[in-house]
Amino acid sequence: MKVLFISSWFPNKLEPTNGNFVQRHAEAVALEHEVEILHCIGNFDQTEKYIYDDKVINGIRTLIIYYKNSNNPLQNFYRRMKSYRLGFLKMQMPDLVHANVLHNNMLFAVYLKKKYKIPFLVTEHWTALQHQNLPNTSGNIKRIAKYIAKNAGYILPVSENLLDSLRSIGIKTPMKVVSNVVNTKIFDIKKRDEDGTTRFLHVSSLIPRKRPDKIIETVFKLKQKGYNVALEIGGDGDTETLKNLVKKYNAEPFINVFDEISYAEVAEKMQKSDCFILFSDNETQGCVILESYACGKPVIATAVGGVPEFVKPGLGILIEKANENELYEAMENFATQKLQLKDAGRLRQFVTDHFSKESICRQFTDVYNDILTTASHS
């Protein structure tokens, strides 16, 4: 079938990694269906009202429209919706729309349903709609989310935790969890040379809620205690602050801070590590957990958001949010091999069975068929 992906977040020249999990969902669906992607984003630096960036990325036609941003939110919203309308006229007519994130951008999916009778579903990733963040999420955001959801055929949160949160704000649309996808061809098991060092890894946006500084401090403490440990830490955030922290501790010989790297380079770092560390205050799911498993590597992660659904016994260790003592203890136990964890093949099999492109494509296809069957009878 013909599927049009639209999303509130998507990788673009202004934010190269933003919403890359949406791109991976689209690539999974493209295994079986005709997929096109449309995304619109404002740019303060351009003089033209609209710039079209139309190209084929990883085999999928991807049209990104940049509109001239202003300081007027209403004008920006109008230009964004106009961008989506202009872009839609350049795409093939889809059988259904796969929207992403219950943000006001996805009012365009509602418009397409009302004007062209194109049914749509929404995959939800947004931490703003998680239980612990709902008190700080504006009533307007919740109202818009409920309105979009009411018009959708299905809502597909990426974790049970997020599904429960959406139910709690009054969304009654049929829901089913379909997780983020892992490219099991890139994230694979590779043998590496053993040198007796326990190598930890952390890759993220490095924003404060990921607590990257605390991971560095914990590795430094382990090294001070005489443990043979090393850390690779980096991503697309503020690496300068972390580099200065490492310098302050004279930890450059065993802690390396790296800048933004490609998807394939993340896999390479996972293959060369022993364990992935996720010390976040909040996660809807944590794609990196599954990517680490696909490389045969266990994780140490905080029990927040949807994380406990994916860190099963034997696959990794769950620790309390912001508990640096538990982080230290878990990393120490891992370094001294006191943890009973499954072998690399079992870790990878868990991902292949549930989160590979093929598996996620099958799960989406079941929902697509359900929506189209319902639409044809209404």
Cβ contact 199:269 at 8 Å: no
Domains and CATH numbers, the chain: 2-181+356-377 (3.40.50.2000), 198-354 (3.40.50.2000)
Residue percentage of the chain with pLDDT more than 70: 100
Q: Residue 306: which of 170, 157, 176 has the closest Cα?
A: 157
- Tens-place pLDDT, residues 147-183: 999 999 999 999 999 999 999 999 999 999 999 999 9
Name the band, by pLDDT with cuts 50, 70 and 90, for residue 375: confident
DSSP 128: G
pTM: 0.86
Choose among 191, 148, 185: nearest CA to 170. Answer: 148
Q: What does the alpha-carbon distance between residue 53 and residue 63 come to, in Å, rounded to a whole number?
A: 6
In this predicted structure, the answer to whether residue 378 has a pLDDT above a threshold of 80 is no
What local confidence, expressed as pLDDT, does residue 213 receive?
98
Q: How far is CA 346 from CA 48, 290, 294, 350, in A?
A: 53, 12, 9, 6
Q: What is the pLDDT of residues 228-241, one digit of tens each?
A: 999 999 998 899 99
Burial of 376 (0-12, 13-18, 19+ CB in 10 A): exposed
Secondary structure of residue 131 in the 3-state scheme: helix
Task: Report, as an integer, the average pLDDT of 66-79.
Answer: 95
